[in-house]
C-alpha cells in the first residue's frame, strides 16, 4: 500500500513535471526537427544557475526567469552556430561536451563565489521569494490521496506552477507543431536538402528549434531547482540520457509523449525499487545497490525501446514501416 502511495506521489512530483518539461524541449529538438541534442541537462543547469543566482542576489522572480531564459538562449545560439551545419552525430558529441563544460565550470573553484562550486547553491538562498507567493497554507495539506506541504520545497504550490507550465508548453508544442513553422521543422527532420531545395533557410529553422527547446529546458531547470537545490553534479550526462529515455518511452514527435513518459519513468523507477526491496532479500540486493540496479534497468529499457519500439507508446505504428 505504501508502495502504491509512493508511486502516485512520484507520478505528480515536481521532479516529474521538470523532466516532462525538459522532454518537451527535447521533443522540439529531436521529435520535431531531428536534432540530436545530448546536452539538455546543460540547458537545465544554466536555467537553474540563471534563476538561483539572480534571485539570491536580490533580483525579483520575473528577472530570474528572464535571466534563465536568456542564458539558455545564448547557450543555444553559441552551440548551434558552429554545429548545426554538421552531421547529426557531431551535434550529439558537441552538445554533450558543451553541457559537461557548463557543469565543470559550475563546479570549478574559480567560480565559487558565483555558483558555489561543487556544493552548489542551497535551496534557502533562492526559494524564499517564490514560496512567499504561495496561496496555499504553510503546513501539510492532503488532497485526495496526496499529502504535500503547502508552500515549501516539494509543495502543492510548486506542483501547481510546474504542471501549469507543462500544460502551457504542451499547448505551445501542439500549436507550433501543427503550424507551417512546425511543418518546415518536420521536413528538416526527414531530409534537410529537400527542404533547402524548396527555398527554406534550414539553418535558421534548426537554430530556432534548438533555442526554443533549450529555453524550455531552462524552465525545467528552474522547477527542478525550486523542488530541490542547485547541484551541478545532478545535471550530468545521465540526466540527459534519462530525458531521452522518457521521451522515447512516451513517444517522440507526439504531443503527450513527454508527459506520459516522465510519469511512467519516475513511477516505474519507484515501483522497481519498491518491488525489488520487497521481493529480493537484503543479502542479495542491499539498499545501497537498489539505485544502480534500477538505473541499470533504465539503460536496458532505453536500448530495447530504440531497437524494438522506436516510436514509443504513443507513436504511430505506421511510421515504422519506412525506416529509411
Considering only residues 282-321, where is the footprint of another protein by CB under 8 A?
Answer: 283-285, 288-289, 291-293, 295-307, 310, 318-319, 321
Which 48-77 residues touch another protein, going by CB under 8 A?
none
Contacts of 120 (CB under 8 A, 6+ apart): 106, 229, 230, 231, 232
Q: Which residue has the cell 532479500?
A: 281
Q: Give the gyration radius of the chain's Cα atoms.
A: 20
Looking at 45-53, 69-77, 92-100, 215-223, which segment touches another protein (CB under 8 A)?
Answer: 92-100
Q: Which of these ranges, 5-13, 48-56, 149-157, 171-179, lies near another protein under the rule CB under 8 A?
A: 171-179
Which lies closer to another protein via its Cβ, residue 122 or residue 186?
186
**11, 70, 141, 176: residue in contact with another protein (rule CB under 8 A):** 176
Q: Collect all residues with Cβ–Cβ distance below 8 Å to 178 and sequence separation of at least 6.
A: none
Q: Which of 41, 46, 72, 98 binds another protein (CB under 8 A)?
A: 98
- 279 belongs to the binding site for another protein (CB under 8 A): no
Nearer to another protein, 34 or 64 (CB): 34
**What is the smallest separation between the CB atom of 21 and another protein, expressed in angstroms?**
19
The residue assigned the cell 533580483 is 59
Pairing of strands 146-149, 140-143: antiparallel
Q: How far is the CB of 117 from another protein (least distance, A)?
A: 7
Give the footprint of another protein on residues 179-238 (CB under 8 A). Answer: 179-184, 186-187, 189-191, 193-202, 208, 212, 237-238
Nearer to another protein, 57 or 138 (CB): 57
- Residue holding cell 513517444? 251
User: Residue 275, interface with another protein (CB under 8 A)?
Assistant: no
User: Among residue numbers 232 through 261, which ones bind another protein (CB under 8 A)?
Assistant: 237-238, 241, 244-245, 248
> Nearest approach, Cβ of 96 to another protein (angstroms)?
7
Distance CA 267, CA 8 (A): 7
Cβ atoms within 10 Å of 111's Cβ, excluding its own: 13
Whole-angstrom distance, CA of residue 318 vs CA of residue 316: 5
Q: How many residues bind another protein (CB under 8 A)?
A: 89
**28 vs 252: CA distance, rounded Å:** 9
Residue 90 contacts another protein per CB under 8 A: yes
Select the span of 109-117, 135-143, 146-154, 214-222 touching another protein (CB under 8 A): 109-117
Q: CB of 201 within 8 A of CB of 191?
A: no
- Going by C-alpha positions, the residue among 185, 238, 218, 278 that lies closest to residue 70 is 218
The answer to whether 214 touches 206, Cβ cutoff 8 Å, is no
- Binding of another protein at residue 117 (CB under 8 A)? yes
The position carrying cell 553541457 is 99
Given 32, 36, 67, 260, the residue binding another protein (CB under 8 A):
36
CB atoms inside a 10 Å sphere around CB 174 = 13
Nearer to another protein, 275 or 300 (CB): 300
Amino acid at each position: 500500500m505504501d508502495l502504491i502511495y509512493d508511486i502516485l506521489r512520484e507520478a505528480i512530483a515536481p521532479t516529474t513535471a521538470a523532466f516532462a518539461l525538459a522532454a518537451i524541449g527535447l521533443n522540439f529538438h529531436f521529435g520535431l526537427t531531428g536534432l540530436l541534442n545530448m546536452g539538455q541537462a546543460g540547458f537545465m543547469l544554466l536555467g537553474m544557475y540563471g534563476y538561483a543566482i539572480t534571485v539570491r542576489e536580490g533580483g525579483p522572480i520575473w528577472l530570474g526567469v528572464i535571466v534563465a531564459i536568456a542564458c539558455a538562449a545564448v547557450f543555444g545560439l553559441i552551440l548551434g552556430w558552429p554545429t548545426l551545419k554538421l552531421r547529426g552525430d557531431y551535434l550529439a558529441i558537441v552538445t554533450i561536451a558543451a553541457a559537461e563544460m557548463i557543469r565543470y565550470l559550475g563546479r570549478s573553484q574559480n567560480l565559487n563565489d558565483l555558483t558555489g562550486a561543487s556544493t552548489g547553491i542551497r535551496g534557502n538562498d533562492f526559494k524564499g521569494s517564490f514560496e512567499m507567493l504561495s496561496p496555499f497554507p504553510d503546513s501539510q495539506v492532503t488532497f485526495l490521496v496526496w499529502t504535500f506541504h503547502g508552500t515549501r520545497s516539494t509543495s502543492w504550490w510548486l506542483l501547481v506552477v510546474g504542471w501549469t507550465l507543462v500544460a502551457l508548453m504542451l499547448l505551445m508544442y501542439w500549436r507550433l507543431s501543427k503550424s507551417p513553422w512546425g511543418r518546415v521543422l518536420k521536413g528538416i527532420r526527414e531530409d534537410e536538402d529537400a527542404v533547402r531545395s524548396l527555398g527554406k533557410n534550414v539553418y535558421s529553422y534548426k537554430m530556432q528549434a534548438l533555442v526554443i527547446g533549450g529555453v524550455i529546458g531552462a524552465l525545467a531547470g528552474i522547477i527542478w531547482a525550486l523542488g530541490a537545490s542547485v547541484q551541478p553534479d545532478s545535471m550530468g550526462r545521465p540526466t540527459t540520457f534519462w530525458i531521452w529515455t522518457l521521451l522515447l518511452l512516451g513517444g517522440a514527435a507526439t504531443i503527450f509523449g513527454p508527459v506520459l513518459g516522465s510519469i511512467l519513468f519516475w513511477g516505474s523507477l519507484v515501483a522497481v525499487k519498491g518491488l525489488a526491496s520487497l521481493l529480493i532479500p537484503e543479502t542479495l540486493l542491499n539498499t545501497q545497490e537498489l539505485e544502480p540496479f534500477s538505473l541499470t534497468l533504465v539503460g536496458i529499457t532505453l536500448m530495447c525501446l530504440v531497437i524494438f519500439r522506436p516510436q514509443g507508446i504513443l507513436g504511430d505504428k505506421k511510421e515504422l514501416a519506412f525506416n529509411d
